[in-house]
């Protein structure tokens, strides 16, 4: 990692920066109803969040993926602000990191266009340097979207912040430190088994962990 390049903290979006899971689950279930299929149990849907949309649908209706995906992509933008909002303290954490000269970027399984529309709608756009969707990249737990998000702002990724095992595995594969929050998709026990560098109920401890982006969680250079 070059000392000349800026550092980036990479965030997942849903369940990490924004409390969006109820709207995702409701839209997902509505897409099944739209296609004349029984809506999956809400808890079962929530457990799938963090995977690519088509993989989520295949878990319930493997022979109807294309139709349900198209219905979801039509329905979700119509209702993604029914309850979705930034988690408490998220903007303050982003402001703190940016004030230290760190780049704040998003690496999400959503498509880039949809993610950027959502980020703007909930008021987070001014606090982020870049929003990177998976698009044609390999999905998490592959590290590609983490690297792409940091590269887009000419920075080296130093931390991956997320709420799922997929986020943590992607961060580890990308060679960065990992910070897990328990207010999203996966509970503390599930996240603990993935061995994040830091496990917290929210983002509050992140600025202290990250420092100025030049050290890892044990004080070593990243």
pLDDT digits (tens, 9 = 90+) for 58-106: 999 999 999 999 999 999 999 999 999 999 999 999 999 999 999 999 9
Residue with tokens 């602000």: 81
DSSP state of 184: S
The DSSP bridge pattern shows strands 156-162 and 177-181 to be: parallel
- Pure H helices in 139-181: 144-151, 165-174
CATH superfamily of 7-19+85-210: HAD superfamily/HAD-like (3.40.50.1000)
Annotated catalytic residue within 3, 14, 23, 197? 14
Mark 129-145 as b/e (b = at least 16 C-beta within 10 Å): bbbbbbeebebbbbbbb
- Which pLDDT does position 143 carry in this prediction? 98
Query: Is 14 marked active-site?
Result: yes
**Tokens at 139, concatenated:** 């999905």
pLDDT bracket for residue 211 (50, 70, 90): confident
Neighbour tally for 177: CB within 10 Å:
23
Same fold, 7-19+85-210 and 21-79: no
Say which CATH topology domain 21-79 has. Answer: DNA polymerase; domain 1 (1.10.150)
- Mean pLDDT in residue range 152-169: 97
The overall average pLDDT reported for the chain is 93
Residue 212 is encoded by which pair of tokens? 């100025």
pLDDT tens string 13-26 = 999 999 999 999 99
How is the chain split into domains, by residue range?
Answer: 7-19+85-210, 21-79
Q: Is the pLDDT of residue 218 over 50?
A: no
Distance between CA atoms of 219 and 211, rounded to whole angstroms? 10
12 an active-site residue?
A: yes
Q: Given the residues 3, 12, 19, 41, select the one marked as catalytic.
A: 12
Would you call 196 helix, strand, or coil by DSSP? Answer: coil
**pLDDT tens track for 23-36:** 999 999 999 999 99
């Amino acid at each position: 990692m070059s000392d000349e390049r800026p550092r980036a903290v990479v965030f997942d979006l849903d369940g990490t920066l924004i409390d969006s899971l109820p709207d995702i689950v409701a839209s997902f279930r509505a897409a099944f109803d739209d296609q004349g299929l029984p809506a999956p149990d809400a808890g079962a849907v929530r457990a799938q969040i963090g995977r690519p949309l088509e993989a989520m649908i295949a878990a319930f209706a493997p022979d109807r993926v294309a139709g349900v995906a198209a219905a979801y992509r039509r329905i979700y933008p119509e209702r993604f602000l029914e309850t979705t909002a930034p988690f408490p303290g998220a903007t303050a954490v982003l402001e703190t990191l940016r004030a230290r000269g760190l780049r704040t970027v998003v690496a999400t399984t959503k498509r880039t266009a949809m993610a950027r529309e959502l980020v703007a709608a909930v008021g987070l756009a001014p606090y982020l340097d870049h929003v990177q969707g998976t698009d044609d990249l390999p999905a998490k737990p592959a590290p590609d979207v983490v690297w792409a998000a940091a590269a887009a702002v000419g920075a080296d990724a130093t931390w991956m912040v997320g709420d799922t095992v997929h986020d943590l595995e992607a961060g580890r594969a990308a060679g960065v430190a990992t910070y897990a929050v328990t207010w999203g998709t996966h509970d503390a026990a599930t996240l603990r088994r993935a061995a994040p560098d830091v496990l917290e109920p929210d983002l509050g401890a992140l600025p202290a962990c990250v420092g100025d982006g030049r050290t890892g969680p044990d004080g070593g250079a990243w």
